[in-house]
A = this chain, B = another copy of it.
Amino acid sequence: MKGIRQLAKHLDISIGTVSRALNGRPDVNIETRKRVLAAAEELGYVANQSGRSLRQGTTNVIGLMIESSKETVENSDNFFLGVTGGLQSVLSRHKLDLLMLPCPNDEDPHEYLKRMVARRIVDAMIISATQRVDKRIDLLVKAKIPFVALGRSTSGGNHTWIDLDFEGVAACAVDRLVSKGHRRIAIAAPSNDINLGYIFVDAYRQALERHGIAYDPSLIIRVKSSEQGGYQAGHEMLRLDSKPTAIILIYELMAIGLYRRLNEAGIVPGRDLAVIGFREEPRGKFLQPSLTCFRMSLRDLGVELAETLLATMPAYAEHYPKGARNTIWPLELAPGESDAFSLSV
């Protein structure tokens, strides 16, 4: 005999009363409640999650699905752990626990999520690394699991998502470079299949148009989002007939490869070429000259994610007025030395 039954017997009380006492139900004598809570503390009793989940149909667990398969693994620890802090600060107020579900490399993310959802180990999900077309969204919609996606997608109608302000960042980067007299601005980005690649480059193009600068496809360098990709981007850039005077990188990690290639060519970032990166990461500080890039509070993003998610959960929605179901998350410029190179007088 274990669990609540033992506790009930120890107190010589029915298990129903014990349960109600522990769960703060109204119809239990204040004295009794005190005794129950004291005994629970003393015996170290904590309700078995399987039992209560089975009965209630709820787990009090929020899942954060992360993929360790992509190239994103290179820089994701920091990101997810940072966001996690903000998430928990909100979720813990509702006695919700956050579990991270890492999708195995060799398993299809869609299948993995399907398994997790079917097993009912979470009440709601946050999915990351959203693709432009993402079957996971349809799955969650169909299964009626509350969720929010980190990254926009064309799947599943108008689902709830939060995404970084790629448009704003691209515009800011272009504006800044143009204000320094640059006209030929290259961009190193992954392919259009990746959400980021598509949106970012599109915003870059629009920003150029706004400044009346002709769009030159040769300045869009499609590479892997890795160190090698950065090296290759530098390489291809140097092979252009009409060389750019500035370049925007979408992944921080590209910077190291680019710097290396530039170094081989005797080009100094910030002196001979303006370089702007995207999302600030701790290691960006390791570069010399330091990389100009864009910064955001991972913790605040986590808070926003949590509140958005709770707004989609019927049991919690009352506390969170569901305003915009889609949020564009702003980043701020973190100036460095790498874009000091100016063509202005």
Contacts and interface: CB of A to CB of B under 8 A. Distances in A.
B88 A105 contact: yes
Interface in A86-111: 88-89, 92, 97-102, 104-107
Contacts of A49: 50, 119-121
Per DSSP, chain A at the interface is helix
Contacts of A286: 255-256, 283-284, 286-287
Contact of A81 (B102, B107, B120): B102
A50 B100 contact: no
Nearest to A281: B283
Given A66-B81, A77-B78, A77-B283, A118 B256 contact: no
Interface residues of A, number: 60
Contacts of A115: 46
Nearest to A79: B77
A59 B119 CA distance: 11
Contacts of A66: 81
Contacts of A323: none
Interface stretch (A67-75, A179-187, A303-311, A313-321): A67-75
Contacts of A54: 48, 50-51, 54
A107 B54 CA distance: 27
A81 B88 contact: no
5 contacts: A49-B121, A51-B54, A68-B84, A73-B82, A259-B288
In order of increasing CB-CB distance, the 5 nearest A-B pairs are: A283-B283, A46-B118, A286-B286, A100-B100, A50-B53
Given A48-B119, A68-B82, A99-B100, 20 more contacts: A44-B118, A49-B119, A49-B121, A50-B120, A54-B54, A61-B121, A72-B81, A73-B82, A76-B81, A77-B81, A77-B283, A84-B102, A88-B102, A89-B105, A92-B104, A92-B106, A97-B116, A99-B99, A100-B101, A227-B282
Interface of A: 44-51, 53-54, 59, 61, 66, 68, 72-82, 84-85, 88-89, 92, 97-102, 104-107, 114-116, 118-121, 227, 253, 255-256, 259, 281-288
